[in-house]
Amino acid sequence: MNSVSSLFSLLSASLNTITHLSVPHSLTHATSVHINCPLVRRANRYHQMDHRYFLLDDAGHPLKLSTIISVGTHAVIVRGANTVRKMAIVHTYDSPTIILTNRAHIKQEQTIYRLLQPNIDKPCPGIVPCTGLWGNTIELQYMSQGTLENMLKHMGVPSMALQRRWLQQLADGLSNIHEHHILHNDIALRNILLDGSWNIMITDFGASTIVPPARAMNDYIDDYHCSIWTDLIRLGSVFYAILTGKRCPVTIYPGNSSCAEYPRQESLPDVTNLWAGGIIEYCWNPRAVIDGGAREVVRRVRNLPP
């Protein structure tokens, strides 16, 4: 069992690597790759394995390897025609405890999408639209241009027009998330996707926290030390990447820690020469939490000089 599972993990990771080398893709963007090599021939043998080792969909049917975009800790992402589906990881050999744990993570994320998008026909601005929720599945809009991470790798520094649009869309997205009493906890280039019109939106609420309605957002810290400020720090880091075309060196998870730590101010890169550097500095300042948070970022982006 371990050897088969290891083989599947290796194949999934390797196929993702092959695809990344070809064209950008993400949870909502994948490209078919047809390569005649031993790795792919081994992948084809996945379908000849014992049925116990297949990943299963909500109905208990085996997933085709060719439709799998990525496999995480608790969820698997599969592609469709115009949508992608995020489902709990389930193998027939999994214990009931493992299955319930994985499904609980999907249920939590479904709850978040219901908070953000109570009307399925009215997407939340700045968030990848949810097109359906059922069973242990989340269906999302297909985002044809892939992740911001891969886009920046290919294009370098975006045009000024794109920079302005993307800063505004991200600020709006995070502000809407916080307005619904949610901490995203994983704002990162890989979790920001582009549609066919090059609009960017935030996705992946697998690590997010729902803040109790009775609690004030500006003083809430969850079990992993995440807060409004950790979201803002990471938003500022994404802004830095958009303005420079380079990944920001700031991290809130040093080493292998699963708990967030606020970066030392002296470790933050100099942004004084960036045209929107003042907004990045605001995101990295602990006073941002009491000065308006993401809503203030929205205001400052809109008031940037032409």
CATH number of the domain encompassing residue 220: 1.10.510.10
Cβ pair 64, 54 in contact under 8 A: no
The answer to whether residues 169 and 293 belong to one domain is yes
- Which one has a higher pLDDT value, 49 or 151? 151
Mean pLDDT over 232-238 rounds to 97
The answer to whether residues 284 and 154 belong to one domain is yes
Cβ pair 91, 70 in contact under 8 A: no
Q: Which two tokens stand for residue 210?
A: 């729902």
pLDDT above 50: residue 295: yes
The answer to whether residues 195 and 125 belong to one domain is no
Phi, psi of 94 (to 5 degrees): -65, 145
Mean pLDDT over 129-138 rounds to 96
The answer to whether residues 134 and 152 belong to one domain is no
pLDDT above 90: residue 13: no
- The residues near 124 (Cβ < 8 Å, ≥ 6 apart) are 116, 117, 173, 176, 180
Mean pLDDT over 169-191 rounds to 97
The answer to whether residues 109 and 196 belong to one domain is no
Name beta bridge partners: 130: 140
Mean pLDDT of the chain: 85
- For helices 293-302 and 160-179, angle between their N-to-C axes, nearest 10 degrees: 150
Domain end (from 141, 164, 181): 141
Cβ pair 56, 64 in contact under 8 A: no
For 49-105, how does the pLDDT look when each residue is reduced to its tens digit (9 = 90+)? Answer: 555 568 998 888 899 888 998 888 899 999 988 999 999 999 888 899 999 999 999
Report residue 6's pLDDT band, with 50, 70 and 90 as the boundaries. very low
The distance of Cα 139 from the centroid of its chain, to the nearest Å, equals 14
Phi, psi of 223 (to 5 degrees): -65, -20
Q: Which pLDDT belongs to residue 81?
A: 85
The answer to whether residues 60 and 194 belong to one domain is no
| Overall number of domains in the chain | 2
The answer to whether residues 131 and 230 belong to one domain is no
Domain end (from 141, 170, 202): 141
* DSSP-assigned states of every residue in 217-281: GGG---TTS--HHHHHHHHHHHHHHHHHSS-----SS-TT-SS--PPPGGGSPP-TTSTTHHHHH
The answer to whether residues 186 and 136 belong to one domain is no
Q: Which pLDDT belongs to residue 291?
A: 86
Q: What percent of the chain has pLDDT over 90?
A: 66
The boundaries of the domain holding residue 124 are 2-141
The answer to whether residues 121 and 267 belong to one domain is no
Domain end (from 141, 165, 194): 141
Cβ pair 230, 252 in contact under 8 A: yes
Residue with tokens 């649009």: 165
Q: Which pLDDT belongs to residue 20?
A: 39
The answer to whether residues 40 and 107 belong to one domain is yes
The answer to whether residues 235 and 283 belong to one domain is yes
Cβ pair 127, 175 in contact under 8 A: no
Cβ pair 228, 142 in contact under 8 A: no
Q: Which pLDDT belongs to residue 8?
A: 41
Pairing of strands 83-88, 68-71: unpaired
The answer to whether residues 7 and 122 belong to one domain is yes
* pTM exceeding 0.85: no
Q: What percent of the chain has pLDDT over 70?
A: 83
For 270-287, how does the pLDDT look when each residue is reduced to its tens digit (9 = 90+)? Answer: 999 999 999 999 999 988
CA angle 20, 25, 31 (to 5 degrees): 85
Backbone φ/ψ region at 70: left (φ over 0), alpha (ψ -120 to 50), beta: beta
Q: Which pLDDT belongs to residue 35?
A: 39
Residue 280: C-alpha distances to residues 77, 181, 219, 237, 260 (Å)? 32, 23, 21, 7, 19
